[in-house]
Every structure is written in C-alpha cells, then in structure tokens.
Amino acid sequence: MNIKLIIQVSISLLLARWKQTLVAAVGVTFSIAMFVTLLGFMNGLNDLLDGLIMNRTAHIRLYHDINVSKIQPVDLLSPQTKNFVRSVKPKNQRLEIYNSAQIMQAIKRDDRVLGVAPKINAQVFYNVGSVDLTGVINGIDPDEENRLFMFSDYVTAGNYLDLKNIPNSIILGKGVADKMAANIGDVVQVTTSKGERLQLKVVGVFQSGLQDLDRVQSYCSISTTQKLLGVSNNYITDIQVKLEDILQAPAMAIEYQRYYETDAIDIQQANSQFETGSSVRTIISYAVGVTLLVVAGFGIYNILNMMIYEKMDSIAIMKAIGFSGKDVNMIFIFIALSIGVFGGAMGLLVGFGISNIIDNIPFNTDSLPTIKTFPINYNPIFYIIASIFSIVTTYLAGYFPSRKASKIDPVIIIRGK
C-alpha cells in the first residue's frame, strides 16, 4: 500500500468534483456551527436562569420549621393503644436556632464547607400611608452574603455595604420600592407581626429578576433586624451553608439535620423544578445538534455514493493496474475524512464567531438588570463533542460507499463498456 499515491489519487478525485466536495464541506460546516452555537446559547440560557436561583440560594439551609408535635400527651398517657387525634395545632415554639454561633463555628471547620452566612427571616408590613403591604425582611451579614451569594450583583442602586455602615438602613426590593415610591435617602416605616415599629433609611434597591420576590423582599443588617424584632443579639433563624461541591448537599443536609437537631433542606430539594427545566432544555439542544450532524452525514454519504457511481470506470482501471480493494476503500475513506476535518474545523470557527456575535448583542430588560447581552456558554466540551461527531459521522458516511467501491469487479465494468 503506497500511502502517498493513495493521498494523491484521493486529492485528484476531490478536485475533479470540487463542487460536490464543496457542498459536502459546507453541509458539515453548517451542522457543526449550528451545533456549537445552539449548545452554547442553550446552556448559557440555562446558566442564566439557574443563576437567578442558585446564586441566591444556600446549598444547605438550617432552620426551625413550624410542625405539629409528633407525640401528643394522650400518647404518653396510654402508649399501648392507638390514638387518633384530629385537627392538631402546631405548638408554640420560637423560630430561633439555639446555639447558632457554636453551630456556625462547627460547620466552618468542616473541610467540605466553603462558607457559612447567618440570616434572620422577619415577616413585616410596609406602612404606606393608611395602607400596609405584606413583606419579608432578610437580616444578613452583608460581607458574607456578598462573598457567598454575589449579593452586590443584584443591588441595582446604592451600595450594599451601607447596610453595615449606616444604622437602621434597608435595601428595598424593586417591586416594594416602586409600590412605596421610595428612593435612596427616603425613610420608610415597617411594622412587625407583633406590632413593633421602626423607621428605616433606604440605602439601595435590590432586584433579583424574580418579580414575585422583589415585590415583598427587602434586606437589613442582622443587628437592625434584631432591633426591629426586639430580640437579643444572638437571635438567628437561618444558617446558610455554601459547599465546595454542590452534589454533596443532599447527604450533608441529612447529616446536619440529625447532628444539630434542626430542620435542613438542600438546594436540589428546594429548587428541583429549575433543575428539571435545565435538564430538559439541555436534552433538546443536544438532540437538535446531533440531528444536524446526522443529516450532514447523509449528505456526504449521497455525494460519495454518486461519486463512486460516476467513477466506476476509474475504479475499474485502478483495480486493473494493481490497486487492491483495500486501497480503493482507503481512498474514499480519506475523501470522507478530508471533508469531515475541513468542514468540522471551519464549523468550529464559524460557530465560535456566531456565538461571539450573539454574546455581544444587547439584551436589556427591566426584569434582569444585571444581564446586558445574550448569554453564551463557551464550554470547550461542546467543541470537543462537535469535533468527534464530525469525524465519526463523515467516517461512517464514507465507509459504506467505500466498501461498495472496493468490491467492484473491473472485468465486469470493462466488459460492459
């Protein structure tokens, strides 16, 4: 087998039908470009939508839920009998996590933990003239909240550090600020469910992109929230845990719940609907991309099949002068792979260029103030998958016609001519 001669013959056949070769290469280029662009855009969109929740959600949240007592007094009185108690009301219990400081210190020493942030959840009413708007104030540590959950990215007006530096300050949700017609520097009044009232200075506006949250949610420092609720300075209702590996969250949530005797919820359980949507969108994008590549493979197959049909005389002559069936097979596989490699390389470049153009198209919306352009994910794995698919599909597209060419009997063809 003379590899150099086989390559020369393959190039001659490619150039002899250069228009068909160009069409096949363009088909591969288009398929690869659309594959890369589609996956980049769909996964960028997934990252955007998931980020709205995932970036602002703790991997594990420790808290005290309001539950009905599992053991009723009647069960203690007669433990040997089966008791049926209907319409049981929750017992009166505080939402505070006891020994929260010690729990946070213990969790911070866990090598699997990236960071811990305390939080207070307070149900309040925003007093607007004679109208009271229901809402929630989250008492946070601004520094830890920003380090773990990128809090500053969602503060569209003002400075998040003012929560720490200015006493009795508040960052209002965008929807709340619009309803109250409140601007930075204004003073608003809030009332707790127990009737405690406090005037707070607006130092910023927060917009998460989820309008239902932005209509009720606001932020204060932990000390201001404790003052609003009239509780001690060790009062904490939530402990937010950020992990090094998010996949460990379900198991660690169960571990922490049992060890610290609190309720715990992991991020997968809290946001299962978002993960489901992301998975479905990813499957659809891969399915469409693979379909494009398969269609391009059929195009190459048809072109090579026609090329073999038109080159029957040439194939017969090559076999008559000493080319073996394996040599002929190699010639047409080389032709197919040449189209796949060239078209695939051009497709990667074109796909990257289209993705870059999309990434720079302005995308301005009031609901997502932190997003300025359309989202694109440039994950190298997309380009690796596209490269492998382009080679595999073009190889298969060339293999079957090449088998047909290698089995041609030159005597029959020459006799027919």
Amino acid at 2: N
- The residue-averaged pLDDT of 215-238 equals 89
386 pLDDT more than 60? yes
In which band, very low, low, confident or very high, does the pLDDT at 220 lie, cut at 50, 70 and 90? very high
Contact 316, 347 (CB under 8 A): no
Higher-scoring residue by pLDDT: 334, 367:
334
Residue 360 pLDDT grade (very low, low, confident, very high; cuts 50, 70, 90): confident
Contact 51, 58 (CB under 8 A): no
State the residue for tokens 């319409």: 87
Share of the chain above pLDDT 70, in %: 80
Q: Is residue 147 predicted with pLDDT exceeding 70? A: yes
What per-residue string of b and e applies to 156-177 under the rule 16 or more CB within 10 Å gives b?
ebbbbebbbeeebbbbbbbbbb
pLDDT at 92 over 70: no
Q: Quick one: pLDDT at residue 26?
A: 81
pLDDT of residue 276: 66
Question: What is the model's pLDDT at position 219?
Answer: 93
pLDDT digits (tens, 9 = 90+) for 186-219: 888 999 888 888 889 999 998 877 777 888 889 9
Residues in the chain: 417
**pLDDT beyond 60 at 1:** no
Residue type, 350: V
Written as six digits, the tokens of 196 are 């405690």
Top pLDDT among 367 and 105 is at: 105
Which of the four pLDDT bands, split at 50, 70 and 90, describes residue 341?
confident
pLDDT (average), residues 58-74: 74
pLDDT at 339 over 70: yes
Quote the DSSP letter at residue 153: G
User: Taking a C-beta distance cutoff of 8 angstroms, is the pair 331, 311 a contact?
Assistant: no
Q: How far apart are CA 288 and CA 384, in angstroms?
A: 17
Mean pLDDT throughout 284-304?
A: 72
Give the model's pLDDT for residue 264: 86
DSSP 8-state symbol, 246: G
pLDDT number for residue 275:
62
CB 210 within 8 A of CB 216: no
Task: Give the separation between CA 271 and CA 339, rounded to whole angstroms.
Answer: 45
> pLDDT digit string (tens) for 391-415?
887 787 777 777 776 676 666 666 6
The residues pairing with 158 across neighbouring beta strands, listed in sequence order, are: 204
Q: For 249-253, what is the mean pLDDT? A: 88
pLDDT for the residue numbered 7:
74
Per-residue pLDDT at 375 exceeds 90: no
- The average pLDDT across 36-46 equals 82
Tokens of 279: 């998975």
Q: Given this model, what pLDDT does residue 77 score?
A: 66
Residue 362 tokens read as: 């302005």
Q: How far apart are CA 360 and CA 352, in angstroms?
A: 12
Q: How far apart are CA 60 and CA 222, in angstroms?
A: 20
Looking at 101-110, 280-289, 295-304, 368-377, which range is the least confident one? 295-304
pLDDT band at 350 (very low <50, low <70, confident <90, very high): very high
If 0-12 CB within 10 Å is exposed, 13-18 middle and 19+ buried, where does residue 210 land?
middle
Tell me, what's the pLDDT at 310?
Answer: 67
User: Higher model confidence: residue 285 or residue 146?
Assistant: 146
Q: Which of 191, 207, 188, 208 is nearest to 199 (CA)?
A: 188
Q: Say what the pLDDT of residue 203 is.
A: 92
